[in-house]
Every structure is written in C-alpha cells, then in structure tokens.
Structure 1
Amino acid sequence: MEWKVRGIRGATTVAKNAPRAIAEAVNELLDEIEAHNQFRAEDIVCVFFTTTADLDTMFPAAAARKRPGWDHVPLIDLDQMKVKGSLEYCIRILIQVNTPHAQSAMVHCYLRQAQNLRPDLDLQIYS
C-alpha cells in the first residue's frame, strides 16, 4: 500500500468566547475527526486552525496540544478571513495526515452551527 498525504476538513462553533468553551469544541471536533478517519497522532503531518475574529481568549492549538500524543504535532492558529454575514464564533480545521486511503475516503466533520457550512458533508450520511 502506498501512503500519501491527505487533507481532512472540519469546523465547529462555540456559544461564547471563553477558553473552556473553545477547548471543549476543539476536542469534540477532533474526537469526531479521529473516530471517522482512524489515524494516529504520529500519522499527522500538520494541523491548521482558523478562528473568526470574535474568538480571542484561547488558541485552538493549545487545546489540541494537550491531547495524548499530540505534543509533537505541528499546529498553527490563523485568522479566518472576515466575510460579511459569515458564521460567527467558528473554528475551522485542516488536518494533513499520512494514510494509505484515498482522499475520497476522508470523512470531513462539521459540527454544531458549522453543519450549515457544508450540509453535503453531514455526518449522518456516513452512519
């Protein structure tokens, strides 16, 4: 089997701009992504997080770094481009992983209000 780098996308929202809310949302999102894609931390190439401007009390990467095995994963936080009328309190993610699976096999996870961003990728269709 040939291993290649694949991208996994996802997003979630938080109810308020608070470290605990951000950490819980990040961990919930990562739990779902890991469960549906079955990779290990050592398979991760890097992870990009973006947040909307209204989230500024915690870096999402700080929550991810506390996950078992994630202490050596390259993580970065970035600002999400501001677009008028776009979803607020939103955290987006792009994980690049080494995997033998095709890109079409990657399961992208959109939770909470972020489900509206990609209704075509609703997790219910994978159940």
Structure 2
Amino acid sequence: MIRGVRGAITVSVDQPEEVLKETQRLVLEMAKENNIEPDDVASVIISTTTDISSAFPAKAVRTIAEWTYVPVMCTHEMDVPGSMPLCIRVMMHVNTVLGQQDIHHIYLNEAIKLRPDLSAKSQVSST
C-alpha cells in the first residue's frame, strides 16, 4: 500500500547551500524514522513558500546516494498571508505495510509549530 509521509523544515535564509542542506536533512530524517529505502519511494513532492527561490530542493534529494532515480518534483506553496516564512514541505509517497497511525511525520526547526501534535511524536522518537 502507498502511504504519504509528511515533513517540513524552515531555513534561516534563502541561500542555495542552506536550502539544499536542510532539504536533505529533512528527507534523510523522514527516511530514517520510517525505515524507508529509496526503492520503497514512489515519488516525492516538495513545496516551498514563495520566499524560497535560490535553489530547487529536488536537487538535494537527487544527490542523496541511491536516490538518483526517485521521481521528485518541486512547486511553490500557496502564498497565504501570515503563513510561516522560509518553509520547505515534503510529501513522500512510500510503499509500506505500516498503518497511518504508525507513520512518523517529521517537522524540524520552526516548522514544528505547523503540527505540534505530530511534532511531539517525532521528537520523542528522534531523541
């Protein structure tokens, strides 16, 4: 069965090095916490807030060892007034036998505020 694994992270500045580093950090943490192998991933959709435009976050995923052939696409998030700035969101579609309640969604940096209910779960498993 395919399940969605969600994640989000913020960057402190829109610079290519930081966008790529933090995107890779998020994706690797999502994979680690959910025991995801690249062959299990059907696709990855990455969105950024419109204030991120210095780099394609998909490049960060394609440069991870063994992730070269995972289909990845980038898009911009809706520009809603008052939304969290400098945020990268990931939706990973994964073949898994895990139930919805067993998926660990990962929220890092300021993005923890987006889903405190799920962030508490991921913080417990990450520590």
Q: What band does the TM-score fall into relative to the shorter chain? A: over 0.9
Correspondences of 1:1-127 after superposition (within 5 Å)? 4-122=1-119, 123-126=122-125
Distance in 2 (CA, whole Å) between partners of 1:16 and 1:84 is 19
Which letter maps to 1:68? Answer: A
SS, match of residue 17 in structure 2: helix
How far off is 1:103 after superposition?
1.8
**Structure 1 stretches (4+) deviating beyond 2 angstroms?**
124-127
* Identical counterparts, % of pairs: 36
How far off is 1:100 after superposition?
1.4
Q: What's the C-alpha RMSD, in Å, of the aligned pairs?
A: 0.9
What is the number of residues matched between the two proteins?
A: 124
SS, match of residue 83 in structure 2: coil
How far off is 1:125 after superposition?
3.5
Distance in 2 (CA, whole Å) between partners of 1:103 and 1:96 is 12
- Relative to the length of structure 1, the TM-score reads 0.94
Distance in 2 (CA, whole Å) between partners of 1:61 and 1:119 is 26
Deviation per residue, 1:72-101 (Å, 9 max, x gap)? 101000110011010000000100000111
- Relative to the length of structure 2, the TM-score reads 0.94
SS, match of residue 38 in structure 1: coil
The runs of 5 or more residues in structure 1 that have no matched partner are: none
Which letter maps to 1:18? Answer: Q
The runs of 5 or more residues in structure 2 that have no matched partner are: none
How far off is 1:124 after superposition?
2.3
